[in-house]
Amino acid sequence: MILKKVEKEPRAAAYPAPAALVSAYGKRGKPNAMTAAWISNICADPVTLVVGIRDTRYTYELIVKNGCFGVNIPNVKIAKEADYFGIVSGRDVDKFKETGLTVFKGTEVKVPLIKECPINIECKLTKQVKIGTHDAFFGEVLKVYYDESIINENGSPDILLADVLAYGTGNYYSLKSIIGGYGYSRKSEQFSHLFEEIQSDD
Amino acid sequence: MILKKVEKEPRAAAYPAPAALVSAYGKRGKPNAMTAAWISNICADPVTLVVGIRDTRYTYELIVKNGCFGVNIPNVKIAKEADYFGIVSGRDVDKFKETGLTVFKGTEVKVPLIKECPINIECKLTKQVKIGTHDAFFGEVLKVYYDESIINENGSPDILLADVLAYGTGNYYSLKSIIGGYGYSRKSEQFSHLFEEIQSDD
């Protein structure tokens, strides 16, 4: 049964998203970061992600100045800290001092990365596109760090093991369980017959 | 305690993401869609999202031709269908016929939207930026549809009620529970003292 659809005016609706902490060095080498849910991987080669940042933000200014930024994926344990990083400005406070989160330095570009986040990404700014209130910053991924504890028995990182936060429709959520792996429909009874004759594309 | 970090070569790591179904009309008005996890809201005004699509994709061709596309957020109930839409091409098969998913027409632009998805978004293509293997397609959001059943008691949509899929590190996941609402650190005992004197920014 298809339920009734409610029509709404335009709004952000492509969720869930990461509650990522986008980090950059500020004045006198002081690390800063802001929470950004409007972020996504965008290209396979060169590996690139994109993040939307409002031009009034301190982090906006720092990324433009530095030409690089870090992306850090927080877990449920530091959810309050992640929220705090999104509602105050690094112009007014030292968010790291206030929350107790700590940083390590990137090796590829000059970015602060957040130790307590199970996933860290070093990015070089490669393109900046003005959209409206927000610019889209494209960052080429130069290196990725995972906490050893989030690597599964196959040697792959797992965001469920990492207990990452998901953001959407005004809330932070935790993940429950794996529904299936990419391509799992191919092996399912319901769909396997569909794969007998066709060639998949990339 | 900070666990050991494992360094990896560049790869997509900004997760979780939606397992969105990006839809467009094809030849002879036949609806098509592909699964795209590389998608995000990107701008507040004009409300805009961005999706990364490989230039070999049939959907890439259709979006360029039509100048518009739909975004549909699937739930756990149709996880296998969502996976299937990502591993076969609309050049070879009619994915809607094969899966039984059904469409309704957008009212703002000529896009097919997927009834069985609890969230549907109509987008007009406003910018296309070549990054590498993938182009970033920017879509201005013209209208959003929610299943009535995912609107909570405050009148707001909730992706937990919607039981949306989260994608990341090769798997589809379900959401477990709300950790907190945006801004909830402000009210927490741990952080409330930090808000006494500062002014938050946007």
Q: Residue B144 and residue A120: Cβ atoms within 8 Å?
A: no
pLDDT at B90 over 70: yes
Structure confidence at residue A3 as a pLDDT band (50, 70, 90): low
Beta carbons of B147 and A3 less than 8 angstroms apart: yes
Give the three-class secondary structure for B168: strand
pLDDT in tens, A112-148: 999 999 999 999 999 999 999 999 999 999 999 999 9
Q: Which of A40, A152, A158 to mutate to test the interface with B (most CBs of B within 10 A)?
A: A40
> Can you list the alpha helix ranges (DSSP code H) found in chain A?
58-66, 79-87, 95-99
Give the mean model confidence (pLDDT) for residues B84-111: 96
Q: What span, in angstroms and rounded, lies between the C-alpha atoms of A139 and A146?
A: 18
| Nearest Cβ partner for B170 among A79, A182, A185 | A182
DSSP B97: H
Angle at B40 between CA A70 and CA A34, to 5 degrees: 35
Q: What span, in angstroms and rounded, lies between the C-alpha atoms of B87 and B79?
A: 13
Q: Which residues of A touch B45 (CB under 8 A)?
A: 132-133
Q: Which residues of B touch A151 (CB under 8 A)?
A: 6
pLDDT in tens, B136-156: 999 999 999 999 999 999 999
Shortest distance, CA A52 to any CA of chain B (angstroms)? 5
> Can you list the alpha helix ranges (DSSP code H) found in A7-147?
58-66, 79-87, 95-99
Q: Residue B46 and residue A186: Cβ atoms within 8 Å?
A: no
Shortest distance, CA B99 to any CA of chain A (angstroms)? 8
DSSP B190: T
Q: Which residues of B touch A137 (CB under 8 A)?
A: none
This prediction's pTM: 0.95
For chain A, list the strands marked E by DSSP.
Answer: 5-8, 17-18, 20-25, 31-36, 39-44, 47-54, 68-73, 103-105, 112-114, 119-130, 134-147, 165-168, 171-181
Q: Residue A201 and residue B91: Cβ atoms within 8 Å?
A: yes
Question: Average per-residue pLDDT in chain A?
Answer: 94
Shortest distance, CA B17 to any CA of chain A (angstroms)? 5
List the single range of A58-72, B110-124, B188-202 with lowest mean pLDDT: B188-202
Q: Residue B8 and residue A146: Cβ atoms within 8 Å?
A: yes
Q: Which residues of A touch B33 (CB under 8 A)?
A: none
B79: left (phi over 0), alpha (psi -120 to 50) or beta: alpha
pLDDT at B1 over 70: no
More confident residue, B27 or B125: B125
pLDDT in tens, A16-67: 999 999 999 999 999 999 999 999 999 999 999 999 999 999 999 999 999 9
Q: Residue B143 and residue A9: Cβ atoms within 8 Å?
A: yes
Which residues, including other chains, have CB under 8 Å from residue B74's CB and lie 6 or more apart?
A: B19, B20, B21, B81, B82, B114, B116, B117, B164, B165
What percent of chain B is modeled with pLDDT above 70?
95
Structure tokens that stand for A109 in this block:
């570009």
Shortest distance, CA B154 to any CA of chain A (angstroms)? 12
Q: Which residues of A touch B21 (CB under 8 A)?
A: none
Beta carbons of B38 and B51 less than 8 angstroms apart: yes
Q: Which residues of A touch B202 (CB under 8 A)?
A: 54, 56-57
